[in-house]
Amino acid sequence: MRSPAPKRNNGNEHARVSASGIPKASLERMAQYHQIAMRAGEDGNESLSSVFLARILGVDETLVRKDMASVSIPGKPRVGYATGQIIDTLEEIFGLSQHTDAVMIGCGGIGSALLRYPGFRKYGLRISAAFDADYQKVNQRVGEYIVLPMEKCRSVINTFRVKVAILAVPADAAQETVDWLICRGIRAIWNFAPIHLRVPEGVVVRNENLALGLAELIHRLKQQNLEEEGGAANA
């Protein structure tokens, strides 16, 4: 049984801070702070030190303190930062206290795995419906969703005022699908297709290129092996 989470404030006990103007690297660290604070809160830990956070992220503790100060999260000497306030402040910054509806486009391997992932709701993302152009996938159950044909996507976007699409379609279909979605009012694309998308100004794209990530991982591993071999030869 999990310990009760620490008391969280009502969002009015700290200065309101917007994500606009915060550097991308800082935002990425803050997303990790939020994840760590959520787990700590579930375990009943009421405070987190900059040393602890820095050790997990592999950064200097002064950088953690700088990040916290930039979003008006106060710390106490020898105590650290209140877990509840970290959660509240960062949820306000990322807009996690409000639900964002999204549609899933493509229900193959990656799309199906994303549909089954239960953690999105913790971050305010609610998948309204899942769609696929392959009629062999239509009407199949994936997790709690029944895959719908693309013909029904427009009505779902309009009904739920959806602005976010999660794209998990083959590369050769991605650009045409994105163009269609943008014409229907989608303004943010979370792209899992291995292709660079062309979008007009005012549309936000986040690319998750798994193949590129794997290539970078293997490259770093090879570099590490070469360095270790070189060190052994010089020993």
Residue matched to tokens 């008006």: 72
Pair 188, 203: CB distance under 8 Å: yes
pLDDT score, position 12? 37
Domain boundaries, the chain: 24-94, 100-208
pLDDT in tens, 150-176: 999 998 998 888 999 999 999 999 999
Under DSSP, is residue 79 helix (H, G, I), strand (E, B) or coil? coil
Q: In the chain, which residues have pLDDT < 70?
A: 1-20, 97, 231-235
Residue 234: the pLDDT is: 65
Burial class for 83, CB neighbours closer than 10 Å (0-12, 13-18, 19+): buried
Class of 24-94 in CATH:
mainly alpha
Residue range 100-208, CATH number: 3.40.50.720
Helix, strand, or coil here: 83? helix
pTM of the model: 0.64
Q: What number of other Cβ atoms are within 10 A of residue 170's Cβ?
A: 14
Separation CA 59–CA 82 (nearest Å): 20
Looking at residue 175, what is its pLDDT? 97
